[in-house]
Structure 1
Amino acid sequence: MTDKYAQLVNQGPGRNVAKKLGLPQPAVLRRYEPGQPLINGPILVQGSTAGADALSAELLSWDLDVRRHAVPREKLGAIILVLDEVAHPEDLEKPILPAAASLRDLAAGGRVVTVSRPASDADSPAAAAARQGVDGFLRSLAKELRGGATGNGIILRDGIEPTSPSALAALRFFLSGRSAFVDGQFVTVSGTSGELAGDPDKPLAGKIAVVTGAARGIGAAIARTLHRDGATLVLVDVPAAGDQLAAVANEVRGTALQLDISREDAGQRIVEHAAQRHGRLDIMVHNAGITRDKLLANMDQPRWNSVISINIAAQLRINEALLSSKHFRESPRIVSVASTSGIAGNRGQTNYAASKAGVMGMVRATAPHMAALGGSINAVAPGFIETEMTARIPFALREIGRRLNSLQQGGLPLDVAEAVSFLASDAAAGINGEVLRVCGQNMVGA
């Protein structure tokens, strides 16, 4: 679905009219293309800790242009604030305010990334206050950025260094065009495992991945993105979508499995198919989902039960089959597609919101079991994404949904797929039990 308003106000006379009237002018986002530079312009690393020094050295080894002090009026591709040793709220001033002077020099599509510690690990009230302060600072700053720039944060559990593999993977993701519609969000690195891909353009090379609900929309975008990133695919959808599923499978050179995932034996059939074709399964992407919207006062049993069955109960059963299978043992990854509706709720979606909140609860509770296998499970929570479903929303509500985030536009299915691919990679092995919102920093609940 095309955002015709965004096209209108970004070119020709429409741009001038929008500017004069003070109308929203959504920026054209910098999205990833294979072979493009990681970031456009120098990176300013602000911070005086050993972690800041080590991170700067690592970025230099990536052949990036790194600054430790701002050069007046020099356009910057990114600003990284290393706040890994703040112990009191007064400690925030020194790294933050000097960087603030450089915000006007941030290029269109630039990035601001904080590196900090979780307040929950702090050993004093002052340290907890400082660490939680980073959260409020970054989320507010992200709402001030313009020109398609984004602000996100990496939280390092105590004992995890800024140069640990998954911290570097998260930094690469946030700096790149892969994170175009991720804004005002944090990801926590809790483990030291992981390894950056030798080829950044093929982070899933050699992996076997299953994607459910893959016949169209976000599922098809996930399939195309995982294929682009090197994975071999098994695509799953209901028999009624067989023709569309076959078309996507042919496009990505994968295999199609027509299957209703709400069947009791769905998990076993998925494992058997992957094992017979490829000998194992490395990545499971739970994307399949439905909506059956009604106000709760008008909700009937079929609407409620069908949404719960497909959106969460099916995932639970499939995961049980995966965790008990010998074919899902080599650093396995599970990525589930949740929704910001499960975080903030949505009128007329009590069943859908319950199911998507349930996905997030499942992810957190399953994380220790995946860690025991040397694997991980995470969720991606999309906001307003331009799909066939959102195209059916009445015009006025659709426009509100599009503009009600810091980037003032809807995301693309590709944006969700990029986050899924990142979390499915070996480099992200130290990230487990997390929910990453792909919502442009939705103004409600995110």
Structure 2
Amino acid sequence: MSDKYQSFTQSAIGKVLVKNLGLPSPAKLERYAAGAPLVKGTVLVGGRGRLAESLGGLLGELDVTSTEAAGGGKLKGLVFDATGLTSSADLVALQEFFTPVMRSLETNPRVVVIGTPPEQLEGGERVAQRALEGFTRSLGKEIGKGGTVQLVYVAEGFEGSLLSTLAFLLSPKSAYVSGQVVRIGTKNASIAAEQVDPKKPLTGKVALVTGAARGIGEEIAKVLQRDGATVVGLDIPPAEDDLKKVTSDYITADITAEDAPAKIASYLQEKFGGVDIVVHNAGVTLDKKLANQKADRFGKVLEINITAPERITAELLEQKLVRPNGRIIGVSSIAGIAGNLGQTSYGASKAAVIGFVDSLAEELPDGITINAVAPGFIITQMTAAVPFATREVGQRLNAMSQGGLPVDVAETIAWYASPASTGVNGNVVRVCGQMMLGA
């Protein structure tokens, strides 16, 4: 579904009205195309801390051009090492680095600030590092031009695990991810990252994607396949024809059925001997205000959105079918963070996905990680049916003034899924264009 308002703002009369009336003016977002360079332009690096001297080398490994001096030219990205800021007075270094170059940014720029997890520090250092969250989230709401701003907390000893995260956050793959805080190496994380082909990082990996027949699930399957994975799609029997169009390896099952976990485990064991990536995407909304809610509908939402993923994961782990350095990825929602009218069941289930991540992140063996995405307003067939006024509010109530696409969720999942993302564990990243609701 196209964004008619965005198209209007690019017309001659639209540009005049936007300027004179102060209307939202959503920029056209760049998205990644297979085979394209990660960054089309130059990235300025700076700051002081334990990563400052290595940033240029890290970007070089990604074939990204970097510089330590602005030089007056246009810039596609900014990376600032703030790990050396040890007091509140040091925070002025942020203004000294960013202010002179903000007007030199190209369209769709990327900004990444790197810090140390505050919970691992004390005193003034903890104060300074916690301040970075307010800085980056505020900058994300003013950068404009389709730009994104992120904060990456890197625990000491995990500097070598930063590469896959930089590749994602500096590239068009993170087009609709902004104002987010990513933690590397803070929860039961493995230091040794696998070496991968940056163009096919999932080569040789087997991925299970539930709800894969259409919508976001279909896009997740396509992106994982693009990155080299063999995808096993799962959906309900009536969706089999659509599922066949997505992948030749598939399972038809009701994930809430008593025998579903065993059926899935048996298929993966017999055909592949295990699985590397498990994406719990299948979900349902049965919206109704709580005063009018029926127990069977409320329970069904919980059963599909969280109980089934718990049961399937438990079965795969018990049978040791998730291979070392494997990935478990949940799909939460902005409704699980900020809540939403008429979505008590959905909000509860999606908040439970976050709890699911928290509960397993410290317990998983063999370098297996668990993370979740929390989509905001994503343009799908489902949202196309939303009343026009409600849909417009949903699309504009974020820093980018537009809805996201299913591929935006899929790209975030592919970053989690990479064997190089070993240090990324226990994260919940919103794919919402930095929605104005929630944190």
Q: Which interval holds the TM-score relative to the shorter structure?
A: over 0.9
Q: Output the amino acid matched with 1:134.
A: L
* Cα-to-partner distance string for 1:184-212 (whole Å, 9 max, x where unaligned): 00110013535365421211111100100
| TM-aligned CA deviation for residue 326 of structure 1 | 3.0
2:331 aligns to what? 337
Alignment of 1:45-124 (within 5 A): 45-72=45-72, 74-124=73-123
Q: Output the amino acid matched with 2:313.
A: N
Alignment of 1:389-428 (within 5 A): 389-428=382-421
| TM-aligned CA deviation for residue 117 of structure 1 | 1.1
Structure 2 residue ranges without an equivalent (≥5): none
Distance 1:194 1:411, change over 3 A: farther
Distance 1:292 1:50, change over 3 A: closer
2:256 aligns to what? 262
Please identify, of 271-280 and 168-177, the stretch whose mean Cα deviation from structure 2 is larger. Answer: 271-280
Asked if the contact 2:207–2:277 (Cα under 8 Å) also holds between the matched residues in 1, the reply is: yes
Q: Output the amino acid matched with 2:241.
A: D
Q: Output the amino acid matched with 1:410.
A: G
Alignment of 1:157-176 (within 5 A): 157-161=155-159, 164-165=160-161, 167-176=162-171
Asked if the contact 1:81–1:96 (Cα under 8 Å) also holds between the matched residues in 2, the reply is: no
Q: 1:441 aligns with which of 431, 434, 437?
A: 434
Correspondence 1:323 to 2:317: yes
Correspondence 1:347 to 2:341: yes
Q: 1:290 aligns with which of 284, 288, 291?
A: 284
* Cα-to-partner distance string for 1:330-371 (whole Å, 9 max, x where unaligned): 32110111101000000100000000000100111111222x
2:26 aligns to what? 26
| TM-aligned CA deviation for residue 172 of structure 1 | 0.9
1:200 aligns to what? 198
| TM-aligned CA deviation for residue 302 of structure 1 | 1.1
Alignment of 1:108-257 (within 5 A): 108-124=107-123, 126-161=124-159, 164-165=160-161, 167-190=162-185, 191-195=189-193, 197-249=195-247, 254-257=248-251
Asked if the contact 1:40–1:110 (Cα under 8 Å) also holds between the matched residues in 2, the reply is: no
| TM-aligned CA deviation for residue 92 of structure 1 | 1.4
Quick one: distance in 1 between partners of 2:24 and 2:195? Answer: 39
Quick one: distance in 1 between partners of 2:190 and 2:84? Answer: 19
Q: 1:431 aligns with which of 414, 424, 429?
A: 424
Q: Which secondary structure does the structure 1 equivalent of 2:133 belong to?
A: helix
1:2 aligns to what? 2
Asked if the contact 2:49–2:85 (Cα under 8 Å) also holds between the matched residues in 1, the reply is: no
Quick one: distance in 2 between partners of 1:425 and 1:24? Answer: 36
| TM-aligned CA deviation for residue 12 of structure 1 | 4.2
1:381 aligns to what? 374
* Cα-to-partner distance string for 1:140-195 (whole Å, 9 max, x where unaligned): 0000111111101111123432xx12x11111100011100000001100135353
Q: Output the amino acid matched with 2:76.
A: G
* Cα-to-partner distance string for 1:211-268 (whole Å, 9 max, x where unaligned): 001111100110111111111011101112222222222xxxx312110000122122
Alignment of 1:306-317 (within 5 A): 306-317=300-311
Quick one: distance in 2 between partners of 1:186 and 1:443? Answer: 15
Asked if the contact 1:111–1:151 (Cα under 8 Å) also holds between the matched residues in 2, the reply is: yes
Distance 1:306 1:387, change over 3 A: same
Instruction: Please tell me the root mean square deviation across aligned C-alpha atoms, in Å.
Output: 1.5
Q: Output the amino acid matched with 1:403.
A: R
Structure 1 residue ranges without an equivalent (≥5): none
Asked if the contact 2:339–2:347 (Cα under 8 Å) also holds between the matched residues in 1, the reply is: yes
| TM-aligned CA deviation for residue 8 of structure 1 | 1.8
| TM-aligned CA deviation for residue 64 of structure 1 | 2.8
Please identify, of 191-200 and 412-421, the stretch whose mean Cα deviation from structure 2 is larger. Answer: 191-200
| TM-aligned CA deviation for residue 67 of structure 1 | 1.6
Quick one: distance in 1 between partners of 2:385 and 2:58? Answer: 47
1:278 aligns to what? 272
| Residue identity (%) | 44
Q: 1:305 aligns with which of 277, 293, 299?
A: 299
Quick one: distance in 2 between partners of 1:57 and 1:246? Answer: 44
Distance 1:359 1:147, change over 3 A: same
| TM-aligned CA deviation for residue 95 of structure 1 | 4.2
| TM-aligned CA deviation for residue 392 of structure 1 | 1.5
Q: Output the amino acid matched with 1:171.
A: L
Q: Which secondary structure does the structure 1 equivalent of 2:164 belong to?
A: helix
Quick one: distance in 2 between partners of 1:282 and 1:62? Answer: 24
Quick one: distance in 2 between partners of 1:439 and 1:389? Answer: 17
Paired residues in the alignment total 436
